[in-house]
Structure 1
Amino acid sequence: MATRRIQRTEESRRLLVAAAAELFAEKGYRQTSFVDIADKAGISRGSIPWHFGNKLGLLQAVLDDQLHTVLTAFDEQAGDPLDQVMDFIRLPAARLFITLLAEAVEDGSPIREHYARLHAALRQGVQARIPAEALPAGTSAEAFTVLLVGAVIGVHAQWRVAPEAVDLDAVRTLLERMINV
Protein backbone atom coordinates (compact mmCIF):
# COMPACT_ATOMS: atom_id res chain seq x y z
CA MET A 1 0.00 0.00 0.00
CA ALA A 2 2.85 2.39 0.80
CA THR A 3 4.30 1.79 -2.65
CA ARG A 4 1.02 2.80 -4.29
CA ARG A 5 0.88 5.97 -2.17
CA ILE A 6 4.44 6.84 -3.18
CA GLN A 7 3.55 6.32 -6.84
CA ARG A 8 0.48 8.57 -6.53
CA THR A 9 2.56 11.22 -4.78
CA GLU A 10 5.24 11.11 -7.50
CA GLU A 11 2.58 11.22 -10.22
CA SER A 12 0.86 14.21 -8.58
CA ARG A 13 4.17 16.03 -8.34
CA ARG A 14 4.98 15.27 -11.98
CA LEU A 15 1.56 16.48 -13.14
CA LEU A 16 1.89 19.70 -11.14
CA VAL A 17 5.37 20.43 -12.51
CA ALA A 18 4.22 19.77 -16.10
CA ALA A 19 1.13 21.95 -15.69
CA ALA A 20 3.12 24.77 -14.09
CA ALA A 21 5.79 24.61 -16.81
CA GLU A 22 3.18 24.95 -19.52
CA LEU A 23 1.33 27.76 -17.77
CA PHE A 24 4.48 29.67 -16.79
CA ALA A 25 5.60 29.49 -20.44
CA GLU A 26 2.18 30.66 -21.64
CA LYS A 27 1.20 33.26 -19.03
CA GLY A 28 4.34 33.97 -17.01
CA TYR A 29 5.04 33.27 -13.37
CA ARG A 30 3.12 36.17 -11.82
CA GLN A 31 -0.02 35.67 -13.90
CA THR A 32 -0.26 31.96 -13.09
CA SER A 33 -2.17 31.04 -9.94
CA PHE A 34 -2.34 27.88 -7.85
CA VAL A 35 -5.91 27.48 -9.11
CA ASP A 36 -4.71 27.62 -12.75
CA ILE A 37 -2.04 25.00 -12.07
CA ALA A 38 -4.33 22.71 -10.07
CA ASP A 39 -7.07 22.90 -12.71
CA LYS A 40 -4.62 22.09 -15.52
CA ALA A 41 -3.09 19.21 -13.56
CA GLY A 42 -6.44 17.91 -12.34
CA ILE A 43 -5.16 17.92 -8.76
CA SER A 44 -6.23 19.75 -5.60
CA ARG A 45 -4.54 23.15 -5.24
CA GLY A 46 -3.69 22.20 -1.64
CA SER A 47 -1.25 19.69 -3.12
CA ILE A 48 0.98 22.46 -4.43
CA PRO A 49 2.20 23.81 -1.08
CA TRP A 50 2.33 20.24 0.28
CA HIS A 51 4.74 19.21 -2.51
CA PHE A 52 6.68 22.44 -3.03
CA GLY A 53 6.20 24.69 0.01
CA ASN A 54 5.19 27.71 -2.04
CA LYS A 55 5.01 29.04 -5.57
CA LEU A 56 8.76 29.76 -5.68
CA GLY A 57 9.42 26.16 -4.65
CA LEU A 58 7.23 25.03 -7.53
CA LEU A 59 9.10 27.38 -9.88
CA GLN A 60 12.42 25.88 -8.79
CA ALA A 61 11.06 22.38 -9.40
CA VAL A 62 9.91 23.46 -12.88
CA LEU A 63 13.27 25.03 -13.72
CA ASP A 64 15.18 21.99 -12.44
CA ASP A 65 12.94 19.68 -14.46
CA GLN A 66 13.23 21.71 -17.66
CA LEU A 67 17.01 22.12 -17.31
CA HIS A 68 17.32 18.35 -16.86
CA THR A 69 15.19 17.85 -19.99
CA VAL A 70 17.37 20.22 -22.02
CA LEU A 71 20.69 18.76 -20.88
CA THR A 72 19.42 15.22 -21.41
CA ALA A 73 18.41 16.16 -24.95
CA PHE A 74 21.95 17.48 -25.52
CA ASP A 75 23.45 14.23 -24.20
CA GLU A 76 21.17 12.00 -26.28
CA GLN A 77 21.77 13.90 -29.50
CA ALA A 78 25.13 13.04 -30.98
CA GLY A 79 26.82 15.48 -33.25
CA ASP A 80 27.89 19.06 -33.49
CA PRO A 81 27.46 21.01 -30.23
CA LEU A 82 26.40 24.06 -32.25
CA ASP A 83 23.59 22.04 -33.83
CA GLN A 84 22.53 20.96 -30.36
CA VAL A 85 22.44 24.54 -29.11
CA MET A 86 20.43 25.69 -32.12
CA ASP A 87 18.03 22.77 -31.66
CA PHE A 88 17.47 24.02 -28.11
CA ILE A 89 15.54 26.96 -29.59
CA ARG A 90 12.85 24.58 -30.79
CA LEU A 91 12.40 22.82 -27.42
CA PRO A 92 9.31 23.72 -25.36
CA ALA A 93 11.61 24.54 -22.43
CA ALA A 94 13.14 27.40 -24.41
CA ARG A 95 9.80 29.22 -24.51
CA LEU A 96 9.51 28.88 -20.73
CA PHE A 97 13.00 30.29 -20.24
CA ILE A 98 12.27 33.31 -22.45
CA THR A 99 8.90 34.03 -20.82
CA LEU A 100 10.44 33.93 -17.38
CA LEU A 101 13.38 36.08 -18.47
CA ALA A 102 11.04 39.03 -18.95
CA GLU A 103 9.99 38.79 -15.30
CA ALA A 104 13.44 37.93 -13.96
CA VAL A 105 15.06 41.16 -15.18
CA GLU A 106 12.58 43.42 -13.37
CA ASP A 107 13.79 45.18 -10.22
CA GLY A 108 12.74 43.29 -7.14
CA SER A 109 11.64 40.24 -9.13
CA PRO A 110 10.86 37.30 -6.87
CA ILE A 111 12.17 34.92 -9.53
CA ARG A 112 15.48 36.65 -10.31
CA GLU A 113 17.59 34.46 -8.04
CA HIS A 114 15.98 31.27 -9.36
CA TYR A 115 16.51 32.41 -12.93
CA ALA A 116 20.14 33.34 -12.26
CA ARG A 117 20.74 29.81 -10.94
CA LEU A 118 19.09 28.42 -14.06
CA HIS A 119 21.37 30.45 -16.31
CA ALA A 120 24.45 29.40 -14.33
CA ALA A 121 23.46 25.73 -14.64
CA LEU A 122 22.64 26.15 -18.34
CA ARG A 123 26.02 27.78 -19.01
CA GLN A 124 27.79 25.06 -17.05
CA GLY A 125 25.92 22.35 -18.95
CA VAL A 126 26.65 23.91 -22.33
CA GLN A 127 30.29 24.56 -21.47
CA ALA A 128 30.80 20.94 -20.43
CA ARG A 129 29.61 19.83 -23.86
CA ILE A 130 31.80 22.12 -25.97
CA PRO A 131 35.09 20.51 -26.93
CA ALA A 132 38.19 22.65 -26.36
CA GLU A 133 39.02 22.52 -30.08
CA ALA A 134 35.71 24.24 -30.87
CA LEU A 135 36.80 27.37 -29.02
CA PRO A 136 38.16 30.25 -31.09
CA ALA A 137 41.85 30.87 -30.45
CA GLY A 138 42.50 32.92 -27.33
CA THR A 139 38.93 32.55 -26.06
CA SER A 140 38.11 31.24 -22.61
CA ALA A 141 35.45 28.56 -22.34
CA GLU A 142 33.54 30.77 -19.88
CA ALA A 143 33.40 33.79 -22.21
CA PHE A 144 32.52 31.64 -25.20
CA THR A 145 29.67 29.98 -23.30
CA VAL A 146 28.25 33.31 -22.13
CA LEU A 147 28.31 34.59 -25.72
CA LEU A 148 26.79 31.41 -27.14
CA VAL A 149 23.99 31.20 -24.55
CA GLY A 150 23.29 34.92 -24.95
CA ALA A 151 23.15 34.62 -28.73
CA VAL A 152 20.77 31.68 -28.53
CA ILE A 153 18.51 33.50 -26.08
CA GLY A 154 18.41 36.55 -28.34
CA VAL A 155 17.79 34.52 -31.48
CA HIS A 156 15.12 32.50 -29.72
CA ALA A 157 13.30 35.63 -28.53
CA GLN A 158 13.30 37.05 -32.06
CA TRP A 159 12.13 33.73 -33.52
CA ARG A 160 9.26 33.46 -31.01
CA VAL A 161 8.08 36.99 -31.80
CA ALA A 162 8.44 36.78 -35.59
CA PRO A 163 9.27 33.25 -36.77
CA GLU A 164 8.75 34.21 -40.39
CA ALA A 165 11.54 36.79 -40.10
CA VAL A 166 14.17 34.52 -38.53
CA ASP A 167 15.87 31.81 -40.57
CA LEU A 168 17.35 29.54 -37.89
CA ASP A 169 19.46 27.62 -40.41
CA ALA A 170 21.04 30.83 -41.69
CA VAL A 171 21.70 31.97 -38.13
CA ARG A 172 23.38 28.67 -37.32
CA THR A 173 25.58 28.91 -40.43
CA LEU A 174 26.59 32.48 -39.61
CA LEU A 175 27.31 31.64 -35.99
CA GLU A 176 29.52 28.77 -37.12
CA ARG A 177 31.42 31.08 -39.50
CA MET A 178 31.91 33.65 -36.74
CA ILE A 179 33.20 31.01 -34.35
CA ASN A 180 35.62 29.54 -36.89
CA VAL A 181 37.09 32.89 -37.92
Structure 2
Amino acid sequence: MSTHERRRIDEIGDESRRRILDAAESLFAERGFDRTSFVDIAKLSGISRGSIPWHFKNKHGLFIAVVDRALDRTMAPESYPTSPTLTELAEDYANWVRTGNTTLVFMALTEAMASTGPVHDQYRELFAERRRRLELWLRAQRPAAVDPEIATKRERAFAVAFTGTLFGIHLQALVDRESVDFDEALRMVAAEFDRNLRNVWDTEGDRDG
Protein backbone atom coordinates (compact mmCIF):
# COMPACT_ATOMS: atom_id res chain seq x y z
CA MET A 1 0.00 0.00 0.00
CA SER A 2 1.37 3.40 -0.97
CA THR A 3 1.76 6.31 1.45
CA HIS A 4 -0.96 8.19 -0.41
CA GLU A 5 -3.38 5.24 -0.12
CA ARG A 6 -2.65 4.85 3.59
CA ARG A 7 -3.18 8.57 4.15
CA ARG A 8 -6.50 8.40 2.30
CA ILE A 9 -7.68 5.49 4.46
CA ASP A 10 -6.72 7.45 7.60
CA GLU A 11 -8.64 10.48 6.33
CA ILE A 12 -11.74 8.36 5.68
CA GLY A 13 -11.42 6.86 9.18
CA ASP A 14 -11.09 10.30 10.79
CA GLU A 15 -14.09 11.61 8.85
CA SER A 16 -16.20 8.61 9.86
CA ARG A 17 -15.21 9.07 13.49
CA ARG A 18 -16.11 12.78 13.37
CA ARG A 19 -19.51 12.08 11.81
CA ILE A 20 -20.27 9.42 14.42
CA LEU A 21 -19.25 11.78 17.25
CA ASP A 22 -21.32 14.65 15.82
CA ALA A 23 -24.40 12.45 15.54
CA ALA A 24 -23.92 10.87 18.95
CA GLU A 25 -23.41 14.24 20.65
CA SER A 26 -26.64 15.56 19.17
CA LEU A 27 -28.65 12.46 20.07
CA PHE A 28 -27.23 12.04 23.58
CA ALA A 29 -28.03 15.69 24.33
CA GLU A 30 -31.56 15.37 22.90
CA ARG A 31 -32.60 11.90 24.14
CA GLY A 32 -30.17 10.92 26.88
CA PHE A 33 -27.80 7.97 27.08
CA ASP A 34 -30.29 5.12 27.56
CA ARG A 35 -32.66 6.17 24.76
CA THR A 36 -29.93 6.57 22.14
CA SER A 37 -28.97 3.46 20.16
CA PHE A 38 -26.28 2.61 17.64
CA VAL A 39 -29.06 2.32 15.05
CA ASP A 40 -30.09 5.94 15.73
CA ILE A 41 -26.52 7.14 15.53
CA ALA A 42 -25.86 5.21 12.32
CA LYS A 43 -28.98 6.67 10.69
CA LEU A 44 -28.07 10.27 11.60
CA SER A 45 -24.36 9.98 10.80
CA GLY A 46 -24.73 8.01 7.58
CA ILE A 47 -22.12 5.55 8.86
CA SER A 48 -22.95 1.83 9.09
CA ARG A 49 -23.95 0.54 12.52
CA GLY A 50 -21.17 -2.04 12.43
CA SER A 51 -18.52 0.67 12.09
CA ILE A 52 -19.42 2.32 15.40
CA PRO A 53 -18.07 -0.39 17.77
CA TRP A 54 -15.00 -0.67 15.51
CA HIS A 55 -14.20 2.95 16.37
CA PHE A 56 -15.46 3.06 19.97
CA LYS A 57 -15.92 -0.57 21.20
CA ASN A 58 -19.26 0.05 22.95
CA LYS A 59 -21.81 2.75 23.78
CA HIS A 60 -20.03 3.78 26.96
CA GLY A 61 -16.79 4.15 25.00
CA LEU A 62 -18.59 6.33 22.47
CA PHE A 63 -20.17 8.43 25.21
CA ILE A 64 -16.79 8.96 26.88
CA ALA A 65 -15.36 10.11 23.53
CA VAL A 66 -18.27 12.52 23.03
CA VAL A 67 -17.92 14.08 26.48
CA ASP A 68 -14.13 14.21 26.24
CA ARG A 69 -14.35 16.04 22.91
CA ALA A 70 -16.92 18.45 24.36
CA LEU A 71 -14.68 19.19 27.33
CA ASP A 72 -11.67 19.63 25.05
CA ARG A 73 -13.39 22.71 23.66
CA THR A 74 -12.88 24.54 26.94
CA MET A 75 -10.56 25.00 29.90
CA ALA A 76 -7.40 23.79 28.19
CA PRO A 77 -4.67 26.10 29.55
CA GLU A 78 -2.05 24.53 27.27
CA SER A 79 -3.92 25.76 24.20
CA TYR A 80 -3.42 29.43 25.02
CA PRO A 81 -0.50 31.33 23.43
CA THR A 82 0.33 32.80 26.86
CA SER A 83 -0.54 31.68 30.35
CA PRO A 84 -4.21 32.61 30.90
CA THR A 85 -5.72 33.97 34.09
CA LEU A 86 -8.43 32.00 35.86
CA THR A 87 -10.84 34.73 34.78
CA GLU A 88 -9.95 33.98 31.14
CA LEU A 89 -10.43 30.25 31.71
CA ALA A 90 -13.83 30.91 33.28
CA GLU A 91 -14.83 33.11 30.34
CA ASP A 92 -13.76 30.31 28.01
CA TYR A 93 -15.98 27.95 30.00
CA ALA A 94 -18.89 30.41 29.72
CA ASN A 95 -18.45 30.66 25.95
CA TRP A 96 -18.49 26.87 25.73
CA VAL A 97 -21.68 26.65 27.79
CA ARG A 98 -23.35 29.07 25.40
CA THR A 99 -22.61 26.77 22.44
CA GLY A 100 -25.08 24.16 23.73
CA ASN A 101 -24.94 20.40 24.45
CA THR A 102 -23.13 21.04 27.74
CA THR A 103 -25.71 18.98 29.63
CA LEU A 104 -23.56 16.05 28.47
CA VAL A 105 -21.13 16.84 31.30
CA PHE A 106 -23.80 16.20 33.93
CA MET A 107 -25.17 13.24 32.03
CA ALA A 108 -21.67 11.75 32.32
CA LEU A 109 -21.55 12.46 36.04
CA THR A 110 -24.89 10.70 36.51
CA GLU A 111 -23.63 7.70 34.57
CA ALA A 112 -20.43 7.67 36.60
CA MET A 113 -22.25 7.62 39.92
CA ALA A 114 -24.56 4.85 38.74
CA SER A 115 -21.75 2.69 37.33
CA THR A 116 -19.21 0.36 38.90
CA GLY A 117 -16.03 -1.35 37.78
CA PRO A 118 -14.31 -0.40 34.51
CA VAL A 119 -17.11 1.91 33.37
CA HIS A 120 -16.93 3.96 36.55
CA ASP A 121 -13.15 4.08 36.24
CA GLN A 122 -13.43 5.42 32.68
CA TYR A 123 -15.61 8.31 33.81
CA ARG A 124 -13.41 9.01 36.81
CA GLU A 125 -10.34 9.21 34.60
CA LEU A 126 -12.13 11.53 32.18
CA PHE A 127 -12.75 14.15 34.85
CA ALA A 128 -9.40 13.55 36.55
CA GLU A 129 -7.74 14.53 33.28
CA ARG A 130 -9.52 17.91 33.35
CA ARG A 131 -8.20 18.57 36.84
CA ARG A 132 -4.69 17.48 35.86
CA ARG A 133 -4.62 20.09 33.11
CA LEU A 134 -5.39 22.80 35.64
CA GLU A 135 -2.78 21.39 38.05
CA LEU A 136 -0.12 21.59 35.31
CA TRP A 137 -1.06 25.21 34.69
CA LEU A 138 -0.79 25.94 38.41
CA ARG A 139 2.60 24.24 38.58
CA ALA A 140 3.88 26.59 35.89
CA GLN A 141 2.97 29.55 38.15
CA ARG A 142 4.51 27.99 41.28
CA PRO A 143 7.15 30.10 43.12
CA ALA A 144 10.56 28.43 43.21
CA ALA A 145 10.89 28.50 47.01
CA VAL A 146 7.79 26.40 47.73
CA ASP A 147 8.14 22.84 49.01
CA PRO A 148 7.11 20.71 45.95
CA GLU A 149 5.35 18.03 48.00
CA ILE A 150 3.16 20.49 49.88
CA ALA A 151 2.59 22.62 46.78
CA THR A 152 1.40 19.62 44.76
CA LYS A 153 -1.17 18.76 47.43
CA ARG A 154 -2.46 22.33 47.52
CA GLU A 155 -2.56 22.65 43.72
CA ARG A 156 -4.59 19.46 43.50
CA ALA A 157 -7.08 20.81 46.05
CA PHE A 158 -7.27 24.14 44.20
CA ALA A 159 -8.00 22.36 40.91
CA VAL A 160 -10.83 20.42 42.57
CA ALA A 161 -12.27 23.59 44.11
CA PHE A 162 -12.09 25.69 40.94
CA THR A 163 -13.47 22.97 38.65
CA GLY A 164 -16.21 22.12 41.13
CA THR A 165 -17.21 25.77 41.45
CA LEU A 166 -17.56 26.17 37.67
CA PHE A 167 -19.59 22.98 37.36
CA GLY A 168 -21.75 23.98 40.32
CA ILE A 169 -22.64 27.36 38.83
CA HIS A 170 -23.25 25.68 35.47
CA LEU A 171 -25.63 23.13 37.03
CA GLN A 172 -27.62 25.83 38.82
CA ALA A 173 -27.95 27.78 35.57
CA LEU A 174 -29.21 24.70 33.73
CA VAL A 175 -32.00 24.02 36.23
CA ASP A 176 -32.91 27.64 37.06
CA ARG A 177 -31.95 29.92 34.18
CA GLU A 178 -34.30 32.72 35.24
CA SER A 179 -32.80 33.13 38.71
CA VAL A 180 -29.10 32.45 38.02
CA ASP A 181 -26.93 35.06 36.31
CA PHE A 182 -24.43 32.55 34.97
CA ASP A 183 -21.95 35.02 33.45
CA GLU A 184 -21.83 37.33 36.46
CA ALA A 185 -21.44 34.43 38.90
CA LEU A 186 -18.56 32.99 36.86
CA ARG A 187 -16.80 36.35 36.64
CA MET A 188 -17.13 36.88 40.38
CA VAL A 189 -15.72 33.53 41.48
CA ALA A 190 -12.95 33.53 38.85
CA ALA A 191 -11.81 37.00 39.90
CA GLU A 192 -11.82 35.90 43.54
CA PHE A 193 -9.79 32.77 42.74
CA ASP A 194 -7.36 34.89 40.74
CA ARG A 195 -6.89 37.33 43.62
CA ASN A 196 -6.19 34.50 46.03
CA LEU A 197 -4.05 32.38 43.74
CA ARG A 198 -0.85 32.91 45.72
CA ASN A 199 -2.59 31.45 48.78
CA VAL A 200 -2.23 28.07 47.06
CA TRP A 201 1.48 28.25 47.89
CA ASP A 202 1.16 29.95 51.27
CA THR A 203 2.03 26.74 53.07
CA GLU A 204 3.22 27.99 56.45
CA GLY A 205 0.18 26.46 58.10
CA ASP A 206 0.96 23.08 56.54
CA ARG A 207 4.51 23.14 57.90
CA ASP A 208 3.35 24.09 61.38
CA GLY A 209 0.89 21.22 61.35
Give the TM-score normalised by structure 1.
0.79
Moved over 6 A (4+): none
Alignment correspondent of 1:140: 154
The correspondence of residues 97-176 of structure 1 with structure 2, limited to 5 A, is: 97-106=105-114, 108=116, 111-130=119-138, 131-132=141-142, 140-175=154-189, 176=191
Distance 1:168 1:67, change over 3 A: closer
Distance 1:57 1:104 in 2: 13
- Which one has the largest radius of gyration? 2
Alignment correspondent of 2:195: 180
Distance 1:174 1:61, change over 3 A: closer
Distance 1:75 1:142 in 2: 20
Deviation for aligned residue 1:126: 1.8
Deviation for aligned residue 1:174: 3.4
Measured against aligned partners, the alpha-carbon deviations of 1:100-121 in whole angstroms (never above 9, x if no partner) come to: 2122212548742222111100
Alignment correspondent of 1:23: 27
The correspondence of residues 46-57 of structure 1 with structure 2, limited to 5 A, is: 46-57=50-61
The letter of the residue matching 1:29 is: F
Q: Which runs of 5+ in 2 are unaligned?
A: 144-150, 197-209
Is the CA contact 2:86–2:193 (under 8 Å) kept in the aligned structure 1?
no
Distance 1:40 1:100, change over 3 A: same
Distance 1:109 1:37, change over 3 A: farther
Give the TM-score normalised by structure 2.
0.70
Between Structure 1 and Structure 2, how many residues are aligned? 177
Measured against aligned partners, the alpha-carbon deviations of 1:44-98 in whole angstroms (never above 9, x if no partner) come to: 1111012222222323332443343335587237642233134314424643212
Is the CA contact 1:86–1:168 (under 8 Å) kept in the aligned structure 2?
no
Is the CA contact 1:28–1:100 (under 8 Å) kept in the aligned structure 2?
no
Distance 2:159 2:76 in 1: 18
Q: Which runs of 5+ in 1 are unaligned?
A: none
Alignment correspondent of 1:87: 92
Identity %: 34
Distance 1:57 1:178 in 2: 34
